[in-house]
Amino acid sequence: MISQIFTSLLAAVCIITPVTATPVSATDIDLSKVKYNGILSRGGQGCDQQHPAAVSINGAAVGLVESFPQFTASYKSGDAVDKQRQFCQVAIDISYPDGLQYRVKEVTVIDSARISEGASAIHDITLYFGGSTDQSTVSKTITGPVANNAIPSTNVISNKVWSPCNESQYLNIKNAARINAGTSKDKNSVSIKYVVFGLEWRRC
């Protein structure tokens, strides 16, 4: 089920049209020299060395896909609090020609959750470029009861944070998951499976 949803989302990302902030058609922007160079660093319980996160870019350079083999926050009354909150932060390197810059315009997440009535799970995403204090955030709340279903959701974000012009800086992506037990005494959990980022390019 989750893999089918992911395949559909990835296909949608592949047809996203790059939008420009200047009055030229999208086809006038050559993205053929955009290159994804990999993950520079990673940290957090959600992507440790045994279960590292993976990031890939689609051929049109308009979509990033982040996947997690084992990223789960869970909590039951009496459990250790450190399991209640989990995070994964990666810094990724994308190089691109001078005169272009990009931002994350759309975020689609696929989470799998088992949440009892009275409890909730929160998935927060923070984005910022190296050397900058400006950041953009996306938050998703899953309210119980939910019975271990794959839950996709898409957010078009009002993100004013663009990559530097004429300078390729790494993009920091932090995913954080936490459980609010509320009135529930049951074990509640949320697993982050995939995050798909739609990229927007413009001339600068």
Alpha carbon 186 to chain centroid, angstroms:
28
**For residue 25, pLDDT beyond 80:** no
- Residue 27, pLDDT score: 52
* Residue 47 three-state SS: helix
* Residue 60 three-state SS: coil
Q: Which residues contact 77 (CB under 8 A, 6 or more apart)?
A: 181, 185
**For residue 13, pLDDT beyond 70:** no
**For residue 20, pLDDT beyond 60:** no
CA distance 9 to 109: 10
For the whole model, what pTM was predicted? 0.86
**For residue 23, pLDDT beyond 80:** no
User: Residue 167 is part of a domain; what is its CATH number?
Assistant: 2.60.120
- Residue 12, pLDDT score: 46
**For residue 34, pLDDT beyond 90:** yes
* Domain tally, the chain: 1
Q: Where are the alpha helices (DSSP H) in 19-142?
A: none
**For residue 24, pLDDT beyond 60:** no
The whole-number average pLDDT for the span 134-163 is 86
pLDDT-based confidence at residue 17 (cuts at 50, 70, 90): very low
Place of tokens 């004429």: 166
DSSP H or E segment with residue 5: helix 2-13
- Full residue range of the structural domain in which residue 121 is found: 2-203
**Nearest Cα residue to 14 out of 196, 142, 195, 204:** 196
Alpha carbon 192 to chain centroid, angstroms:
10
Instruction: Mean pLDDT check: name the lowest of 24-33, 72-81, 91-100, 135-144.
Output: 24-33
